[in-house]
Amino acid sequence: MLDLPDRRLNAYRTDLAEERLRGVVEAASYVSGSPGLICVPVVQMRARPELECGTDTELLLGETVHVLDTDGGWAWVKADFDGYVGYIPDYAVSPVVRSLTHIITAPRTFIYSGPDLKFPTVQALSMGNRIAVIDERETRGTRYFLLEGGQAVIAGHCAELGEPLGGDYVSVAARFLETPYLWGGRSGFGIDCSGLVQLSMMMTGRSVPRDTDMQAKGLGTEIDRSELHRGDLVFWKGHVAIMEDEQALLHANGHTMTVSREGLEDAIRRIGWLYDQPTGYRRP
């Protein structure tokens, strides 16, 4: 099983959102692009305001959105980072944009009730979550950042906002090895193929499209298969993989249901019998 999302409706919803932002379309509970902040670690965005509806993508704690409409416990939002539009539960967005200072750099970590690893955990966080640090403490040699209410997170699992991770984005992607595959996933708790590309590049300071078709059309430059090296992308219909070196790739995939490492030739043979050959190669 490959990541084969059909998200063409999103383009329509984006256009309609722009119309609402301009006040062209009336709505019973219209909100004129009010700024908001995602206030939960991860929230699934859906094409319709229904829990039974599949996930298009996910938004992460501290990411900013514009709230276009609210009704019946749902908020219709546009993500500032990649322009994605969809529905999320209204409790997942705060109308007040706080001043955030740091971003989580570990694939997964925890908020503790205080600055001690023996204290109870309050919440699990994902790479890409943004937090507001107000102080710091050290306990038995471990440094903690303090949050509001005295809660704490391991300082070594954070970086200051605006300071991209060192190294290349492939190293970041490799941190997600064995992370479960999740359709529409974009976090350390579960991720899909294009989400792995987007999140890994985001952590190294790059803004890239969310979906494979967008990445295949506009991310970087097209190259020949013979030119592939570390960091290049291999595309199939609805799927993308990251070259770790000239022979191996990393990808979130429905075959292993994880982020896995696989030989390029092995992947081409395995995928080809059902989904045909790669559709292109790009250097981001």
Q: Does domain 169-283 have CATH number 3.20.130.10?
A: no
Residues of the chain with pLDDT under 50: 1-9, 11-31
pLDDT recorded at residue 10 = 52
d(CA 190, CA 108) in angstroms, rounded, equals: 11
Q: Where along the chain do the CATH 2.30.30.40 domains lie? A: 8-94, 102-160
Contact 241, 193 (CB under 8 A): yes
pLDDT tens for 124-165 read 999 999 999 999 999 999 999 999 999 999 999 999 998 888
pTM for the whole structure = 0.89
CATH architecture for segment(s) 8-94: Roll (2.30)
pLDDT recorded at residue 32 = 53
Q: Which whole-number Å values give the CA distances from 157 to 107, 125, 206, 207, 275, in the listed order?
A: 9, 10, 20, 22, 39
> What does the angle CA 15 – CA 279 – CA 268 come to, to the nearest 5 degrees?
135
> How many contiguous H segments (helices) and E segments (strands) does the chain have?
5, 23
CATH fold of 102-160: SH3 type barrels. (2.30.30)
Query: b/e map of 258-271 (b: 16 or more CB within 10 Å)?
Result: bbbebebeebbeeb
Active site residues: 193, 239, 251
d(CA 36, CA 65) in angstroms, rounded, equals: 5
d(CA 172, CA 205) in angstroms, rounded, equals: 12
